[in-house]
């Protein structure tokens, strides 16, 4: 027996954490330094202390009932979702949820699962990995053009806050989507990833409430708390629930202790408090970003700012996305081009997707100043 494990030098991967960029304006993450560690720790402690021994066994594929109950109350109150604990499935974030839905659609004999023409590349890939065709639905500043839906078996939409363009799905388009689902039996998948973060008006209610039997509502703790928790949830139509549970059984899910901690966190009011605090902080950041761009780069148009943790900055005439991304990188700023989120159909004018929620407080104004410098040069 060797005294130490022998790993040939040429195959040994360097055992280091990925380097965080100094000024990270990638979209997709909340400010991780604002994670409510003391409150989460209390919830986790209580969960561990009070969990019955049975909770440490192989888990219920639906997710812990304590969390499903807490979510049913929260989602009805905060997002207007028609949710009952026996329609909720706990999953490891939305990415897991969408894979799970892809598998259930395949098993049903579905052929296509459409996505928005601009959307998160990971979710687009997850849908494609299920082996289904992935047609795209065009989007503009009022969300997806749902009147173009036709023979698809399912479609993934971001109605509260189109990702990444930022508009909310116009009421007429919501109705079109629901009519399409009722007429064709197609499934609407509502990705409500940051619906709580709406700044100038009351949050828009979930589309699911219009047709709970045709919409899968999907939520996640990735923006409200942290993506590293890998906690998400689906609220499913009654006739799709059992097949989703069967798929989830194959795939596993988040740790029972984390589920119990989230249940406690919601029931104690800590989740609402965190969202209230973060909503104010992100709104202030958004205002600072918009003001700085108006002052320093008057030729840049900022859109999609009513909600969420990112904005779209259309580039002043004649400047290419690659050029600005490079100029930003030279100043230590990481930011993504809008075209990275494009999956088909006509392209939008060149723009950046600026994740103003991502940097920690101490790096935020430096990141914005450097971004403005990269845009103004």
Ligand X SMILES: Cc1ncc(COP(=O)(O)O)c(C=O)c1O
Residues that bind ligand X (CB under 6 A): 28, 93-95, 120, 158, 163, 191, 193, 220, 222, 227, 232
Nearer to ligand X, 66 or 192 (CB): 192
Q: Which of 312, 268, 266 is nearest to 289 (CA)?
A: 312
Please identify, using beta-carbon distances, which residue of 193 and 282 lies nearer to ligand X: 193
CA distances from 348 to 44, 315, 338, 340 (A): 45, 11, 8, 12
DSSP E strand boundaries for 19-80? 23-24
Nearer to ligand X, 24 or 191 (CB): 191
For 60-207, where are the E strands, in sequence order? 88-91, 113-116, 136-137, 139-140, 143-144, 154-157, 187-191
Give least dist CB 163 to ligand X, A. Answer: 3
CB of 53 to ligand X, least distance (A): 30
- Sheet with strand 232-235: strands edge to edge: 88-91, 232-235, 215-220, 187-191, 154-157, 113-116, 136-137
3-state secondary structure of 48: helix
Between CA 138 and CA 144 the distance in angstroms is 6
Query: Which sign, positive or negative, has the C-alpha torsion 191, 197, 199, 202?
Result: positive
In the complex, minimum distance from the CB of residue 161 to ligand X, in angstroms, rounded to a whole number? 8
| Minimum CB–partner distance for residue 197 and ligand X (Å) | 12
DSSP-assigned letter for residue 198: B
Tell me whether residue 27 or residue 324 sits nearer to ligand X (CB atom).
Answer: 27
Return the number of the residue (156 or 333) whose C-beta is nearest ligand X.
Answer: 156
Contacts of 50 (CB under 8 A, 6+ apart): 260
Nearer to ligand X, 219 or 374 (CB): 219
* Residue least distant from ligand X (Cβ): 93
CB of 28 to ligand X, least distance (A): 3
* Minimum gap (Å) between residue 1 Cβ and ligand X: 42
CB of 339 to ligand X, least distance (A): 16
Name the residue nearer to ligand X (CB basis): 198 or 327. Answer: 198
* DSSP three-state, residue 105: helix
- Tokens coding 324: 């600005």
């Amino acid at each position: 027996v060797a005294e130490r494990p022998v790993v040939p030098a040429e195959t040994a991967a360097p055992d280091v954490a990925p380097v965080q960029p100094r000024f990270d304006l990638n979209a997709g993450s909340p400010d991780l330094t604002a994670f409510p560690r003391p409150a989460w720790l209390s919830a986790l402690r209580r969960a561990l202390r009070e969990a019955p021994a049975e909770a440490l066994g192989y888990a219920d594929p639906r997710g812990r009932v304590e969390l499903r109950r807490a979510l049913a109350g929260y989602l009805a109150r905060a997002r207007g979702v028609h949710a009952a604990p026996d329609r909720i499935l706990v999953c490891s974030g939305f990415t897991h949820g969408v894979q799970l839905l892809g598998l259930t659609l395949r098993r049903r004999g579905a052929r296509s699962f459409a996505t928005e023409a601009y959307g998160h590349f990971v979710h687009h890939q997850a849908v494609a990995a299920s082996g289904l065709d992935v047609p795209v639905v065009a989007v503009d500043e009022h969300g997806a053009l749902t009147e173009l839906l036709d023979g698809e078996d399912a479609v993934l939409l971001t109605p509260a806050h189109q990702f990444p363009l930022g508009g909310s799905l116009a009421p007429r388009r919501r109705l079109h989507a629901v009519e399409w689902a009722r007429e064709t039996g197609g499934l609407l998948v509502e990705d409500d990833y940051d619906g709580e973060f709406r700044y100038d008006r009351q949050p828009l209610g979930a589309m699911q409430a219009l047709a709970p039997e045709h919409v899968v509502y999907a939520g996640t703790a990735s923006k409200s708390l942290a993506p590293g928790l890998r906690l998400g949830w689906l609220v499913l139509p009654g006739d799709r629930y059992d097949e989703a549970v069967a798929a989830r059984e194959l795939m596993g899910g988040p740790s029972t202790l984390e589920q119990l901690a989230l249940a406690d966190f919601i029931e104690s009011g800590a989740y609402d408090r965190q969202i209230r605090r973060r909503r104010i902080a992100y709104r202030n950041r958004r205002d600072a970003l918009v003001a700085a761009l108006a002052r320093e780069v008057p030729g840049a148009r900022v859109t999609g700012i009513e909600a969420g943790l990112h904005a779209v900055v259309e580039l002043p005439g004649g400047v290419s996305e690659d050029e600005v991304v490079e100029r930003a990188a030279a100043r230590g700023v990481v930011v993504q081009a809008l075209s990275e989120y494009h999956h088909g159909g006509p392209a939008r004018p060149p723009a950046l997707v600026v994740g103003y929620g991502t940097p920690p407080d101490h790096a935020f104004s430096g990141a914005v100043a450097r971004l403005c410098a990269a845009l103004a040069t």
